[in-house]
């Protein structure tokens, strides 16, 4: 991934504004420490901070087509770029090996309809010089981050950036660009391009469950994400989701590296395993934490090159303010989980690794959070999964993207593959329902899809102790002392009087706990402008299902070590 910054229709002296634009782009250089680029066309400017993963030797951006009529800045990866190149009807001269260059040429042939054909995670801004038109789009679920903003001092100008921090000094209105949407300056409209069959959460699906289809779709999702020309690995918490991703990645890495895969399949770019045939895994936790113990067991079972990092409570506390700066949110559960991920990402980058696979999305798609045990019926269960997937860009996707990109590390999330979502979100939700009386724990169907116990000749994907391990939210799994310490510190930092008067200080998203108050105060120190809060969404558990306000998994009564 990378960092992008663009301004369309700047109403001032562009020659002098160029330096200002470079300063604003530099604020997100952590996303792309490998190279910087800037192109000015008329009163438009496009800047880019590059993290080189594919086309390392020639993929510097902004990308410019043959006659310089199209300028493109992209943050993300297009997994089916080879297939898309082969589908082009005209003879285009590709000037780089970047997976993203195909976007320009598809636009030239198809207009904005091409976005439907992209398989990947992406945010991009494209300038059509001949039509004086700018196009911006974001991937289906919002795995990558993108914001756009406006200034009342300069009506008619629109700003785009990968992170809020590049816009907050410039704009008095800033919004998170909606996932699955495209903006067109000719219409000045932002419209949805992503229209899957499952989008209407009130329409309850009834497709029968097919374990083989489910398993193979996840395997394909992992395989296509092994596209890289740089060292890569997997984030391994020892929970079901990350462990399955690691297990599949290890199998695919071994298969591709040994020549067992189909090298002629232009739908897949298998450059990763061919260049880096040994899979590295990474875990983090407090000393003796549940995740460290479980991850160690998984790594041993799979045979990965495993890296384990132990952090202290003080190290994590010292990082919280910086985490909030990078996350650009004050959501409690996001900050809790992001801090260990932020610390781990720095360790990973120090080893020269630039891309990791991660397990985000599984709990939303399959109802894996422990509070789903409280769903009153299958309709409510399904509707909640759709709602959670639609809002992933405000929580887990935001966390995974910004915690890692703070150190120039890219995270890819196979569970949010478009094809996998089309299958998983259309399964009869009765199959996903948690029912302890019938031995059906959370994400039962995912576990069963990868359970080889009925075939004595099959190689197990995971040890049973991991495959059937209870859901442990990352912020809990790194060590129960982490959340306990945050609560203790907030009790010491925020007085009862301050909390009682919080409503006088904040009209929007008024914190109701001392921990939330502490985070909101830190957020305001980084982002004091009123426009900065419009893009923040706080997640609160389903009180109408009888769930407690605390978003921790341990707060749920079904947790084995509940509060």
Note the pLDDT tens digit of each residue in 372-382.
989 999 999 99
Q: Which residues of 457-479 are buried (b: 16+ CB within 10 A; e: fewer)?
A: eeeebbbeebbebebbbbbbbbb
Q: Name the domain boundary from 132, 164, 192.
A: 192
113 with 50, same domain: the answer is yes
355 with 464, same domain: the answer is yes
SS3 98: coil
Cα atoms in the 13 Å half-sphere on the side-chain side of 56: 11
Supply the DSSP string of 199-265, one letter for each residue: --TTS---BPP-HHHHHHHHHHHHHHT---SS-EEEE--SSHHHHHHHHHHHHHHHHHHTT-S-TT-
SS3 100: coil
400 with 466, same domain: the answer is yes
Q: Is residue 99 part of a domain?
A: yes
Query: What pLDDT does 463 receive?
Result: 97
386 with 264, same domain: the answer is yes
In this prediction, residues 433-447 reach a mean pLDDT of 92
Asked whether residue 295 carries a pLDDT value surpassing 70, the answer given is: yes
227 with 168, same domain: the answer is no
Query: What pLDDT does 563 receive?
Result: 47
User: Exposed (0-12), middle (13-18) or buried (19+): which is 296, by Cβ within 10 Å?
Assistant: middle
CATH number at residue 168: 3.60.20.10
Query: What pLDDT does 239 receive?
Result: 93
537, 394 in Cβ contact below 8 A? Answer: yes
Q: Is residue 508 part of a domain?
A: yes
Residues 6+ apart with CB under 8 A from 172: 150, 151, 152, 529, 530, 531
SS3 268: coil
Q: How far apart are CA 224 and CA 253, in angstroms?
A: 11
Q: Which residue range is the domain that position 406 belongs to?
A: 211-473+480-555
- Residues 460-516 pLDDT 10s: 999 999 999 886 665 566 778 999 999 999 999 999 999 999 999 999 899 999 999
Q: With pLDDT > 90 as the criterion, what percentage of the chain qualifies?
A: 81
**248 annotated to a ligand binding site:** no
Find tokens 């510097």 and name the residue.
Answer: 60
320 with 387, same domain: the answer is yes
Asked whether residue 562 carries a pLDDT value surpassing 70, the answer given is: no
Asked whether residue 313 carries a pLDDT value surpassing 80, the answer given is: yes
- Residues 256-281 pLDDT 10s: 767 665 545 666 777 666 666 689 99
305 with 351, same domain: the answer is yes
**Residue 466: in which H helix or E strand, if any?**
helix 464-467
Q: How far apart are CA 464 and CA 443, in angstroms?
A: 14
Q: Is residue 562 part of a domain?
A: no
**359 annotated to a ligand binding site:** yes
141, 392 in Cβ contact below 8 A? Answer: yes
121 with 255, same domain: the answer is no
Q: Which of these, 237, 252, 289, lies nearest to 466 by C-alpha position?
A: 237
Q: Is residue 509 part of a domain?
A: yes
187 with 230, same domain: the answer is no
Q: Is residue 561 part of a domain?
A: no
How many folded domains does the chain comprise? 2
Q: Is residue 358 part of a domain?
A: yes
User: Which residues are catalytic, by number?
Assistant: 2
> Per 3-state DSSP, what percentage of the chain is helix, strand, and coil (rounded to 5)?
40, 15, 40
Q: With pLDDT > 70 as the criterion, what percentage of the chain qualifies?
A: 93
Tokens of 510: 């008024």
Query: What pLDDT does 190 receive?
Result: 98
Query: What pLDDT does 256 receive?
Result: 74
Give CA angle at 61 (59, 62), nearest 5°.
145
Q: Name the domain boundary from 192, 223, 253.
A: 192
Specify the pTM.
Answer: 0.94
168 with 242, same domain: the answer is no
**284 annotated to a ligand binding site:** yes
Query: What pLDDT does 560 receive?
Result: 58
Tokens of 492: 């010491």
Query: What pLDDT does 272 receive?
Result: 66
Q: Mean pLDDT lowest for which of 105-109, 219-223, 362-366, 480-484?
A: 480-484
Query: What pLDDT does 267 receive?
Result: 67
Confidence of residue 553 (pLDDT cuts 50, 70, 90): low
- Mark residue 238 as left, alpha or beta (left: phi above 0; alpha: psi -120 to 50; beta: remaining): left
- Which stretches within 258-409 are classed as H helix? 271-275, 290-302, 313-327, 332-350, 362-366, 378-390, 396-405
Asked whether residue 214 carries a pLDDT value surpassing 50, the answer given is: yes
Q: Is residue 204 part of a domain?
A: no
Q: Which of these, 169, 133, 161, lies nearest to 145 by C-alpha position?
A: 161
355 with 233, same domain: the answer is yes
Identify any residues that bridge with 174 across adjacent strands, giving them in sequence order. 149
Confidence of residue 57 (pLDDT cuts 50, 70, 90): confident
126 with 240, same domain: the answer is no
**45 annotated to a ligand binding site:** no
Q: Is residue 106 part of a domain?
A: yes
Cβ-based neighbour number of residue 331 at 10 Å: 26
In this prediction, residues 235-255 reach a mean pLDDT of 94
CATH number at residue 395: 3.40.50.620
Mean pLDDT, the chain, rounded, equals 92
In this prediction, residues 320-336 reach a mean pLDDT of 97
- Residues 151-207 pLDDT 10s: 999 999 999 999 999 999 999 999 999 999 999 999 999 999 999 999 999 999 999
**235 annotated to a ligand binding site:** yes
Tokens of 97: 């090996």
Residues 6+ apart with CB under 8 A from 87: 117
């Amino acid at each position: 991934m990378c960092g992008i910054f663009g301004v369309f229709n700047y109403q001032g002296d562009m020659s002098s504004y160029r330096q200002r634009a470079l300063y604003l782009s530099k604020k997100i250089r952590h996303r792309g420490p490998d190279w910087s680029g800037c192109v000015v066309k008329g009163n438009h400017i496009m800047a880019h901070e590059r993290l080189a993963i594919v086309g390392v030797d020639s993929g510097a951006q902004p990308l410019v087509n043959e006659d310089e009529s199209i300028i493109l800045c992209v943050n993300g990866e297009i997994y089916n770029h080879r297939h898309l190149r082969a589908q082009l009807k005209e003879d285009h001269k590709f000037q780089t090996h970047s997976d993203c260059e195909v976007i320009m040429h598809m636009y030239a042939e198809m207009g904005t309809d091409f976005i439907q054909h992209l398989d990947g995670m992406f945010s991009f801004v494209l300038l059509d010089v001949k039509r004086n038109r700018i196009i911006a789009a974001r991937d289906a679920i919002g795995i990558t981050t993108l914001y756009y903003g406006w200034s009342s001092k300069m009506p008619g100008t629109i700003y785009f950036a990968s992170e809020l921090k590049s816009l907050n000094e410039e704009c008095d209105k800033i919004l998170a660009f909606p996932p699955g949407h495209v903006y067109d300056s000719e219409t000045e409209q932002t419209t949805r391009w992503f229209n899957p069959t499952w989008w209407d959460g009130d329409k309850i699906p009834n497709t029968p469950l097919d374990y083989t289809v489910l398993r193979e779709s996840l395997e394909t999702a992992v395989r296509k994400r092994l596209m890289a020309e740089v060292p890569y690995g997997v984030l391994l918490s020892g929970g079901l989701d990350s462990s399955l991703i690691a297990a599949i990645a290890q199998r695919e890495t071994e298969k591709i590296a040994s020549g067992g895969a189909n090298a002629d399949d232009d739908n897949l770019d298998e450059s990763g395993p061919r260049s880096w045939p040994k899979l590295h895994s990474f875990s983090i936790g407090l000393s003796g934490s549940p995740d460290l113990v479980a991850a160690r067991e998984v790594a041993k079972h799979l045979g990965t090159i495993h890296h384990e990092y132990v952090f202290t409570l003080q190290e994590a506390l010292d990082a919280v303010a910086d985490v909030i700066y990078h996350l650009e949110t004050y959501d409690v559960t996001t900050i809790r989980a992001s801090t260990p991920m932020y610390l781990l990402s720095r360790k990973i980058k120090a080893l020269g690794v630039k891309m990791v696979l991660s397990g985000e999305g599984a709990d939303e798609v399959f109802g894996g959070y422990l509070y789903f045990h409280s769903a009153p019926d299958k309709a409510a269960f399904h509707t909640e999964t759709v709602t959670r997937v639609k809002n992933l860009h405000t929580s887990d996707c935001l966390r995974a993207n910004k915690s890692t990109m703070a150190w120039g590390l890219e995270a890819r999330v196979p569970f949010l593959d478009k094809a996998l979502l089309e299958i998983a979100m259309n399964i009869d939700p009765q199959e996903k329902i948690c029912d302890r009386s019938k031995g059906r724990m959370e994400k039962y169907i995912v576990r069963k899809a990868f359970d080889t116990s009925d075939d004595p000749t099959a190689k197990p994907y995971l040890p049973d102790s991991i495959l059937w391990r209870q859901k442990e939210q990352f912020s809990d799994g790194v060590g129960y002392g982490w959340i306990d310490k945050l609560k203790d510190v907030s009790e010491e930092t925020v007085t009862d009087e301050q909390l009682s008067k919080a409503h006088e200080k904040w009209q929007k998203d008024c914190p109701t706990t001392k921990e939330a108050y502490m985070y909101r105060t830190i957020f305001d120190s980084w982002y004091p402008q009123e426009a900065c809060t419009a893009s923040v969404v706080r997640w609160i558990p389903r009180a109408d299902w009888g769930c407690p306000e605390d978003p921790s998994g341990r707060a749920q009564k079904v947790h084995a070590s509940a509060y």
